[in-house]
Structure 1
Amino acid sequence: MSDSVATIVYLLMATAFLLLAGWKASALRREPAPTLALMVANFVVAAAVYVIASPLGYTAVGSAFGQAWITTLPIYVGILVNFGLVQLLTIIWTSPSQDPHRVRKAVIGWSLLYTLAIAVMTVAFLHADLTGPAVPLKFNTEQPDEPPVLFFLGVFLTMLTCGTLHTWHRARRAKPDDERIAHALHWFGRSMAVTFGYVVCSAPAIVAASRGYHQLDAVGVFGSVFGVVGCIGICYAMSGAAVSVWLRERRDIRVLEPLWDLVVAGVDPDLELSKSARPSRLLNVRLNLHRRIIEILDGILKLRLWVTADAAGAVETMHSESLNDEALREKLGLAETGLTAQELEAAVTSAVLRHAVGRLQDARTRSTEASGPTPPSDGLAYVMPGQDTAADEERPRLLRVARALELPIVQASLETLQTVAPEAAPASRADAHSR
């Protein structure tokens, strides 16, 4: 890989880390937490390391300080800080039931150990007599004949070994209840095990080079691949679950749009908490999703006076008939066993809402009163299913209702109501006349 291509790749990696740092920083502003602060620091350090480690950055820093190899020091310190922050995150996440004082002591203890190691490494590096042109990735095998450099590398690999194996061990045993933390720890363990491959490759290459044997130099250079893969794995550990959640929230906003159009835009646009045409599905996605759910629930509440049992009865009757009528079942696209209890409830709710909105809009068309149509006298006579749903279950319930809006069984049930109503009217007038 040429220096120019390597520089582009490294700078792209740095840009990705900075974007993730900004994303986590916005979450930190909304919900301040030590773990989020550690993640932001980790991504910022990773971005800095990739910028400096790029051929362009490596050469620029060396030229600025008049020492070609000086760039190696901030790179190795950054790597140690990066993996040290992951270790601290693992300690915090794997100790939820322990005494907070003990967790604090462990975090402080490891932090002091890393600080001491970095200080010793810095002193050793600055006391080394580094000569020759600097070649990125070959410092370990080009300069180990210098005792301070050998000591520097020994401290670095020792701390990296302790950090990676300790994190792997803790992450492997942890069984957290939180799905996102479980995802992060799972990938922390994998990534640290992969990163230890860097130590396995580098240690023998360094020892051999320090004795004048360079047959293992390529093995030492190859060890950097394990470090890069481990770093990418850690990045995914801290962002993968959050990205998955973000994608699901974006999808849920999109899925809820038809239901929102029905019970908010079609009932009372003033129910909107914000007058923006559509909520952003890039920024503040969770906030916008919660806002949509609240607006939908408000719209359903406002419809309660226009709700009747007619649509619910039509859906339930058609569903019962389809269980004994294969042709009808195929027409409605139902399985042999019909809808599950949750699916039937969602279909009933969507039919009831569509019917209620239709009644309301029809009344508005015929109303001459400035204050709007008067609700029918049978309002509140029927209670829609799902009214006692727990708050944390509203989102999946509304998603099921939104997906059921255009189901064939819902559409067919509403069509029967439209067909029956006019035919029932003459009989009703005849009954009224006879009375």
Structure 2
Amino acid sequence: MSQTTLTVINLSIALLTLALGVTKALAARREPGLNLALTASVLLLAGVIFLLATPPIYRAVGSAVHSPNLPALCIDIATLLCVGHAHYMTLLWHPERHTAVMRRRALKVWLPFYSAAITVMVILYACADLSEAARPLHFAPAYAHVTAVFALKSVYFAALITAVIATMVQCRQVALPGRPDLAEDLQTCMRWFAIAVGLDLATVGFTLSAMIGAVVRGDQRLDTLADASWVATIASGIAANWGLGRLALAATRDDRRDIRILKPLWRLVVTDAPQLVIPTGPLNSRVRLDRMMLEILDGARTLKPWMSSGPARAVEQLVDEEPTCVSGRSQAADTSIDLVAAQTAATLLYAAARRADTDQSPPAPAYRLVALPGLNVPASDQRAYLVRVAQYLNARPRPRRSLFLRRQQPDATHPIVSKALELGDQATTAG
């Protein structure tokens, strides 16, 4: 591989990877979280690896530190750190190992492993007799005859193989706690991730073959294998970027989709309570979504004095009596009926309309709702729950035929909710 081609390829991948890493780092600063921080660190370390492997930068760094082969050691160390961060990230995504106790246990096992490998590598490099600079990416075969260098590379290969295999095992079963909607996207990401770290094994094979060839034959005829090893590294970097990029895009896409779905519900509960709206500047989609959910929950609490038990009871009665519903599933519409979400949607629609009508007072104590349905939903399921509630609302308003619902309100998507509003209105008014 020519030096010019290598420079163009490495620099392009380095700039792209560093840009993605900086983007993730900024996102992690706005929204603190271990997943985002580790994703940023993996990308930034990968960018540093490709940047150091760019021939002009490789030589410039070596000249600046008065150790022309030091960038080769830095690339190996950065690679181990990158795989180590990726390994820990897959531990977070493992359904049985994402607890704090399991994370601490993993750190006690793996942190000494990586630390010891890197320490030994640094000591062996310091002990090696390196007379002159080797070509970028050809340090291993050029000094394979030096015992300290061969030992250094052996330690590096052993540590890398162990870490890669452990990471690939973790990639077999992953999950994002609290984000079941990303399960399929995460599995796709992990397949690419497994390919990326698996290609590191090919890098080891090519480099080790070039080193053994240099020792046995006493020449550099197998140097092309060193170039082949870097081609495998390039492919690994592309696969890792593609996998992490797909997951990031999928998460952003799903966040924006849920923001659109939640808007009718958000408008419904905060229209008459604008003080609940949190002032915001430019935010990413996840922060916007989190704030929208917080405002919805706060808005729902302000509606409590106007909540009636009628709509919730009517929804339950209609679900039990509806002839087209069997086992909670509508055969006509072929869609699931979420009883709790439908009750919540009907209750909020009713309460918001009653509060907005100045001629109406809160329902009589006998008809007031003690607690909003779904109030005890776990925090990890809150997003999915609110989305299901919002799906019963339609952003296009139309007048309701009701004794007091004179103000235009979002129409209920499901006919059972619409019917429940009428029945609940009649029961409360009659009472």
- Same fold flag (TM > 0.5): yes
**Are 1:7 and 2:3 an aligned pair?**
no
Q: Which letter maps to 2:388?
A: R
Query: Do the aligned partners of residues 67 and 395 (structure 1) sit closer, same or farther apart at CA in structure 2, a change above 3 Å counting?
Result: closer
Q: Larger C-alpha radius of gyration, 1 or 2?
A: 1
Residue 215 of structure 1: CA displacement? 5.0
* Of 275, 278, 282, the match for 1:274: 278
Residue 11 of structure 1: CA displacement? 1.7
Residue 296 of structure 1: CA displacement? 3.9
Q: Which letter maps to 2:24?
A: L
Residue 44 of structure 1: CA displacement? 4.1
Equivalent residue, structure 2, for 1:386:
373
Q: Deviations over 1:155-208 (max 9, x none)?
A: 432332343345445x37888895889969966665443321211122112211
**Are 1:117 and 2:105 an aligned pair?**
no
Q: Which letter maps to 1:207?
A: I
Equivalent residue, structure 2, for 1:331:
none
Query: Do the aligned partners of residues 151 and 16 (structure 1) sit closer, same or farther apart at CA in structure 2, a change above 3 Å counting?
Result: same
**Are 1:156 and 2:156 an aligned pair?**
yes
Equivalent residue, structure 2, for 1:323:
324
Query: Do the aligned partners of residues 99 and 298 (structure 1) sit closer, same or farther apart at CA in structure 2, a change above 3 Å counting?
Result: closer
Q: TM-score, with normalisation over the residues of structure 1?
A: 0.68
Counterparts of 1:292-307 in structure 2, within 5 Å, are 292-304=295-307, 307=308
CA distance in 2, matches of 1:105, 1:315: 52
Structure 2 SS opposite 1:258: helix
Query: Do the aligned partners of residues 109 and 84 (structure 1) sit closer, same or farther apart at CA in structure 2, a change above 3 Å counting?
Result: same
* % same residue: 20
The answer to whether the 8 A contact 1:194-1:230 is kept is yes
* Of 204, 208, 223, the match for 2:209: 204
Moved more, 201-210 or 81-90: 81-90
Counterparts of 1:367-386 in structure 2, within 5 Å, are 367=359, 374-377=361-364, 380-381=367-368, 386=373
CA distance in 2, matches of 1:180, 1:314: 29
Aligned length: 391
Structure 2 SS opposite 1:274: coil
Counterparts of 1:241-320 in structure 2, within 5 Å, are 244-245=250-251, 247-265=253-271, 267-270=272-275, 272-276=276-280, 280-282=283-285, 284-285=287-288, 287-304=290-307, 307=308, 309=310, 313=314
The answer to whether the 8 A contact 1:314-1:417 is kept is no
Query: Do the aligned partners of residues 109 and 90 (structure 1) sit closer, same or farther apart at CA in structure 2, a change above 3 Å counting?
Result: farther
Q: Which letter maps to 1:224?
A: W
Residue 258 of structure 1: CA displacement? 0.6
CA distance in 2, matches of 1:102, 1:413: 53
Higher helix fraction (1 or 2)? 1
CA distance in 2, matches of 1:142, 1:294: 65
CA distance in 1, matches of 2:164, 2:421: 67
Give unmatched runs, 5+ long, in structure 2. 395-411
Equivalent residue, structure 1, for 2:233:
227
Equivalent residue, structure 2, for 1:194:
199
Query: Do the aligned partners of residues 4 and 237 (structure 1) sit closer, same or farther apart at CA in structure 2, a change above 3 Å counting?
Result: closer
Structure 1 SS opposite 2:14: helix
